[in-house]
Amino acid sequence: MPTITPFLWFDGDLAEPIAYYRSIFPEAQASTDADSSGPVFMAEIELCGQKFILLDGGPMHAGFKESISMFVSVESQDEVDDLWDRLTADGGEPGRCGWLKDRYGLSWQIVPSVLRSLLVSSDRTRAGQAQDAMMTMDKLDIAALQAAYDR
């Protein structure tokens, strides 16, 4: 059976991005040791069960586009806060509605799992209230989303 693996193009040695993503996702596994001597040109890394291939391809296609993002579903506000803070630190940028860019410009969505149930509710008025609240946020706030839905 075929598989699909996101392929991420970087401009520079991969040792630093591998170490960075390992620091954010402690269970991360990489096909190469980021502490090895010499530059790392290609590697496979697994984050939360998703494999990625990383390539030091040089500057020709450097820079990620916002039309592709990594969607991370979490259960708690603590998880939202932790991932948000870690991914926006050291050069990352907060975005709107749970989106952010990490220091490499890769877009991420940090989304509490409850948001889906609020937005797909058959009560379209309440779902709209939750959506309106979401549209005012950068980092998503579960309590505020639920309060908007419940009013």
Q: What is the CATH number of domain 69-150?
A: 3.10.180.10
**pLDDT tens-digit readout, 95-147:** 999 999 999 999 999 999 999 999 999 999 999 999 999 999 999 999 999 99
pLDDT of amino acid 53: 94
And the tokens for 32? 């190469």
Other beta carbons within 10 angstroms of residue 119's beta carbon come to 15
Closest to 100 (Cα-Cα) out of 117, 82, 85, 114: 85
Q: What is the pTM of this model?
A: 0.87
The number of CA neighbours under 13 Å toward the Cβ of 100 is 24
* Range(s) within the chain of domains with CATH label 3.10.180.10: 7-61, 69-150
Instruction: Kindly report, residue by residue over 1-25, the tens digit of the pLDDT.
Output: 878 899 999 998 899 999 999 999 9
Tell me if the domain spanning 7-61 has CATH number 3.30.950.10.
no
The dihedral over CA atoms of 24, 25, 28, 31, expressed in degrees to the nearest 10, equals: -30
Q: How does pLDDT run across 12-66, given as a tens digit for each residue? A: 889 999 999 999 998 999 987 555 567 788 999 999 999 999 999 888 887 788 8
